[in-house]
Amino acid sequence: MDLFLEGIIKAWQLLISLDSEVLAVTLLSLKVSGFATLLSLVLGLGGGTLVALTDFSGKRALVSIVNTGMGLPPVVVGLFVTILIWRNGPLGYLELLYTPAAIIIAQTIIATPIVMGISIASIQNLPTNLRLQILALGASRTQMAWILIKEAKLPLLAGVMAGFGGVISEVGASIMVGGNIKGYTRVLTTATVMETSRGNFDAAIALSIILLGLCFGVNYMLTVAQQRQRPR
C-alpha cells in the first residue's frame, strides 16, 4: 500500500513539475495511438460498412475472420510487422523498424478488426426496411451508407473507444517494432515495463497512473460526444 501511495505522489510530482521526459512520452503515446485509431476508423468503418451492406459468398467466413481479429494478440502483430519491415524483409528498404511509424502500423492492424467488427454488427443491427426507405427516397448507395452510419453512431463511437483502448494500452507490439528508444519511440506502456524491470516501482506506478488518466480523459470526451447523440 505504501508503494502505491508513493507512486501516486511521484505521479503528481511528475505532472506538476512538467517533467520533459514524461511529457514527451505521454505526447508520443497520444500521437501514435491517436493516429493509429484514426487510420483504423477509416479502414474499419469503411470496410465494415461495405461488408454489412453487401451480400457475397464467403461473407460469414470473412466476418468470422474479422471477429477473430478483434482478439488478435499484439505480440503476434508485432512479430509479423517486424518480419515485414526487417532490414532484409519485403519492406526493409523503407527503414521503418524502430520508428514511431512502425508502432502506428502495428497498432492500426490491432485496432482495425475491433472497429470493423463493431461497425459490421452496428450496421447490420439497423432495420432492413430503413435501407429500402432511404433508397426509395432517391438516395444513392453512398448516401444511404452515410445515413446508416449516422443512425448507428452510438455503437460506432463505442467501437472507436474500444479501438483506442486496445492500442493505447498494448505493449508487446510497440516494444517489438519500436524498440523503446528514449526520446524517439518510448511510449507510456513500454516505459512502464522498463521501469518495472529496473525495480523502480514508484516510477512505474506513476507512469501507469498517467496512462490511466490519459485513457480516461480521451474516453470521457468520446463518451460525452456519444451521449449527446442519444435519443431522448
Model pLDDT for residues 8-55, shown as the tens digit of each residue: 777 777 777 767 788 889 899 999 999 999 999 999 999 999 999 888
Can you read off the three cell numbers belonging to residue 71?
A: 482478439
Within 10 angstroms of residue 185's Cβ, the number of other Cβ atoms is: 21
Question: In the prediction, which pLDDT does 89 show?
Answer: 87
pLDDT value of residue 51: 93
Domains and CATH numbers, the chain: 2-228 (1.10.3720.10)
Rounded mean pLDDT of the chain? 87
Instruction: Say how many residues make up the chain.
Output: 232
Q: H helices then E strands: how many in the chain?
A: 11, 0
The three grid cell numbers given for residue 15, joined into one nine-digit string: 505532472
Which residues have C-beta within 8 Å of that of residue 24, sequence separation ≥ 6?
Answer: 183
Identify the band that residue 107 occupies on the pLDDT scale cut at 50, 70 and 90. Answer: very high
Q: Per mean pLDDT, which range of 102-111, 127-136, 186-195 is the poorest?
A: 127-136
By CB atoms closer than 10 A (0-12, 13-18, 19+), residue 80 is: middle
Which of 40, 153, 157 has its CA nearest to residue 104? 40
By C-alpha distance, which of 206, 205, 171, 31 is closest to 101? 31
DSSP secondary-structure letter at 185?
A: T
> Is a pLDDT exceeding 70 seen at residue 229?
no
CB 64 within 8 A of CB 58: no
Q: Are 59 and 52 in contact (CB under 8 A)?
A: no
Helix axes of 59-69 and 100-124: crossing angle, nearest 10 degrees: 130
The model's confidence at residue 164, banded by pLDDT at 50, 70 and 90, is: very high
State the Cα angle at 230 between 226 and 232, rounded to 5°.
155
pLDDT for residue 80: 94
Orientation of helix 20-53 relative to helix 201-228, angle to 10°: 40
pLDDT at res. 203: 78
pLDDT of 213 strictly over 80: yes
